[in-house]
Structure 1
Amino acid sequence: MSAEYDFYKNPIPKGSNRKPRLHARIVPRGTVDSDMLAEEIHDASSLTPGDVEATITMLSKMIIRNLKEGNRIHIKGLGYLEMTLQCPAIKDPKEIRAESIQFKSVAFRPEIGLKKELSTTRFVRAVYKKHSKNRSAAEIDELLTRYYSTHESIARQEFQQLCGFTKGTANRRLAELVKEGKLKKEGLHKFPVYAPVPGNYRK
């Protein structure tokens, strides 16, 4: 099986007239959770799904405990995990106390063997796009003007399809339009619809 990829635009600094460059990025087929992994391991071994799930749960607890104790974790065949920290910028260690040191993230460094295995991956370009179209505010306004000429309101799913956005981008752009006073949010809390504020999107 091959992995799918697509091209995404690199961010452009404000005020720059430079044509955006593209970079390749994996298009995820989905998320494989621990339950799914347990089933796959069960199918490939004599272990029961319950045994595998219990092992994964205990492994997770042991990793967390050891990271909190300041240890670096090595998982054979995968790589190394270690905790990273953050603190205010200082010039002298005496300027800061231990209470100001905070957890930042968990860094992962893959083993050479893992990188070697992944280097043989076959890639194909995704047929179905799973990222949002890059639409300007003017383009969105034009699409909504056409839509509202025959509709009273629009739901998030309809707006998402109309503009070619992902769910996250659709929610964000709708929130921006509400904040700008172009749309008003109506309907039920879990199933809102958006209607144009008078003076917007209606000829």
Structure 2
Amino acid sequence: MEANYRMERNPNPKGENDEMPLHPRLIPHNTYNIRELMRYGKERSTYSEADIAGALRLITDLVAENLRSGNNVEIEGLGFFSVSLQSRPVMDKKELRSESVHFKNVNFRCSQTLKDRLKTMPLTRLKEEKLRTFNDDEKYRRLQWYMDRHPYITVMKYRGLNGCSDYSARKDLAGFVENGTLEETGTRHIAIYTRPAGNNEPEPASLIIDSNITTD
């Protein structure tokens, strides 16, 4: 089976309007859990599912125990596991007690053997649906149509409304904030865009937005 990818563009980290280069992003077919790996392992070996499950649990326990004891763990053909730590920033090591140092994360470094096996993985670009594009005036009209019916809009909703990429949606919404059409609120995890207080735009002519995907 070939792995699928699509070309994506990240938002400019500097907040500028210049577009960032495209880069390929893998689109997973699925995420396999232990039970599925056990089933496939049984089909490819003489081991039973119970044998495979027991071996996986044992390896998991041994990896966790050794990491907890301050060791690194290498699983040949897979990679290296190690622990990273965290503490508050200090200038002198005497300012920090052992009780103030904590576990942060488990680091994984892929083995060269696994990298070599993946270098020749078959890849195919995911066929994407054709999206109808709108000019700036039409995007503005569609935004006002939506805001007349909802208290706020998110990046995801704007993408669906205008059939655009995440990058284009964020760029458009930033422009609407800059010119005073919208205000940005929300949290650091999700941005919410609302009309400024007292901004009551007239409702535009009726607009059909059931779908912006064309079918050929």
* TM-score of the aligned structures, taking structure 2 as reference length: 0.63
Which deviations, in whole Å up to 9, do the C-alpha atoms of 1:162-196 show, x marking residues without a partner? Answer: 4469xxxxxx99x754x8479xxxxxxxxxxxxxx
**C-alpha displacement of 1:85:** 1.1
1:80 aligns with 2:80: yes
Unmatched tracts of structure 1, length 5 or more: 130-135, 153-158, 166-171, 183-198
User: What amino acid is the match of 1:87?
Assistant: S
Q: How does 1:120-135 map to 2 (within 5 A)?
A: 120-128=120-128
Partners in 1 of 2:20 and 2:101 — Cα distance? 38
Q: Partner of 1:67 in structure 2?
A: 67
**C-alpha displacement of 1:123:** 1.2
**Identity across the alignment (%):** 27
Q: How does 1:26-175 map to 2 (within 5 A)?
A: 26-128=26-128, 139=139, 142=142, 145=145, 162-163=160-161
**C-alpha displacement of 1:108:** 1.0
Q: From the superposition, tell whether residues 17 and 54 of structure 1 become closer, same or farther in structure 2 (CA, over 3 Å).
A: same
Q: From the superposition, tell whether residues 201 and 24 of structure 1 become closer, same or farther in structure 2 (CA, over 3 Å).
A: farther
Partners in 2 of 1:115 and 1:67 — Cα distance? 23
Which deviations, in whole Å up to 9, do the C-alpha atoms of 1:21-71 show, x marking residues without a partner? Answer: 111121111101111100010000111112212221222122111111111
Relative contact order, higher structure (CA 8 A, sep 6+): 2
* TM-score of the aligned structures, taking structure 1 as reference length: 0.67
**C-alpha displacement of 1:17:** 3.5
CA RMSD of aligned residues (A): 3.8
User: What amino acid is the match of 1:98?
Assistant: S
SS in 2 for 1:18: coil
Q: From the superposition, tell whether residues 160 and 92 of structure 1 become closer, same or farther in structure 2 (CA, over 3 Å).
A: same
**What is the number of residues matched between the two proteins?**
170
**1:63, 1:73 within 8 Å by CA — same for their partners in 2?**
yes
Partners in 1 of 2:147 and 2:50 — Cα distance? 52
